[in-house]
Amino acid sequence: MPHVLTVIARPGALHPRHLAAARDALAGLGARLGAPEWLAEAEAADLPFTELAAAQAVAAARHALAGEALDLIAQPVAGRRKRLLLADMDSTIVTTETLDELAAFAGLKDRIAAITARAMNGELDFQAALRERVGMLAGLSVSALEETWATTELMPGARELVATMRADGARCVLVSGGFTFFTSRVAERVGFHDHRSNTLLVAEGKLTGKVGEPILDKDAKLSTLKEVAAGLGIPLAAAATVGDGANDLPMLQAAGLGIAFRAKPTVAAAAHHRLDHADLRGLLYAQGFRAEEFRAG
């Protein structure tokens, strides 16, 4: 079977009736189906199919499973396991927006978070919004960076995602519109090979309110994807990308497996694939990894 529909749920929430409903929906459009293959009991399964476009398969299954907290990803079976991972950091590999959390130490979290939300939904120019938010933090002690880092938590599944892909031979790169202070630490904690992000400028132990230039934005994320893939000698089809914001969308659309992860509405609507319910291990199921193949990290 040349295509596969992967059905993913939170642990324990996937039932045979869900798979039967999805299979019936695909069959109703004329697809030929293979036997379901469980990737993790009650959590993820593959439904092989042919004679139906991937987008049609997802649309049909989503309609049949409306109201269920399930994620659906359809793609060709060939080349399913990727050799490169590019991942956003904020609200993707970590659970928070680190700039918003940093702003709390200046008493500005709500104001800055409102700007962040609009920028991540594509309503504001990313570079201008970043400069505005950082400018509001001028004079903040650098000790606030350490305090913010102390409370930063990893997204569930982050370690397994990177460790498993690394063990399978993939290159893993963290690419963020955030800041090197955080990406360097996240990359080390999670196991990324490399990280790229922006730089907060500091003078006399305080933030200057300025960002190092050039700013890493959506175009730079896409350029990084192309550069790293070229360096590995692989096509973009062999890359996986994941992120939640508008500045991630170009790299999500360009990669062979670009997944909008619990994404902002405009991003979820425009991405080819999305995970709304599963944790980051969903990217592994999408590549056909079975639970017993996961590495703990």
* Distant-in-sequence contacts of 239-242, Cβ < 8 A, 24+ apart: 239/82, 239/83, 239/84, 239/85, 239/86, 240/82, 240/84, 240/85, 240/86, 240/165, 240/170, 240/283, 240/287, 241/85, 241/86, 241/87, 242/85, 242/86, 242/87, 242/88, 242/92, 242/280, 242/283
- Which helix or strand (DSSP H or E) is residue 258 part of? strand 257-261
Query: Other CB atoms closer than 10 Å to residue 201's CB: what's the count?
Result: 13
Is 80 in contact with 4 (CB distance < 8 Å)?
Answer: yes
In angstroms, the CA 18 to CA 233 distance is 40
In angstroms, the CA 209 to CA 24 distance is 57
Q: Is the peptide bond before 214 cis (omega within 30 degrees of 0)?
A: yes
In angstroms, the CA 170 to CA 82 distance is 7
The pTM of this model reads 0.96
Strands (E), 77-119: 84-87
Residue 297 pLDDT:
77
Q: Quick one: what percent of the chain has pLDDT higher than 90?
A: 99
Catalytic site positions: 88, 90
pLDDT (tens, 9 = 90+) of the chain, 297 residues, equals 699 999 999 999 999 999 999 999 999 999 999 999 999 999 999 999 999 999 999 999 999 999 999 999 999 999 999 999 999 999 999 999 999 999 999 999 999 999 999 999 999 999 999 999 999 999 999 999 999 999 999 999 999 999 999 999 999 999 999 999 999 999 999 999 999 999 999 999 999 999 999 999 999 999 999 999 999 999 999 999 999 999 999 999 999 999 999 999 999 999 999 999 999 999 999 999 999 999 997
Token pair of 273, please?
């694939």
In angstroms, the CA 55 to CA 26 distance is 11
Amino acid in the structure at residue 107: G
Q: Taking the domain 1-78, which CATH number applies?
A: 3.30.70.260
Task: Tell me the domain boundaries of the chain.
Answer: 1-78
Is 153 in contact with 95 (CB distance < 8 Å)?
Answer: yes
Is 284 in contact with 160 (CB distance < 8 Å)?
Answer: yes
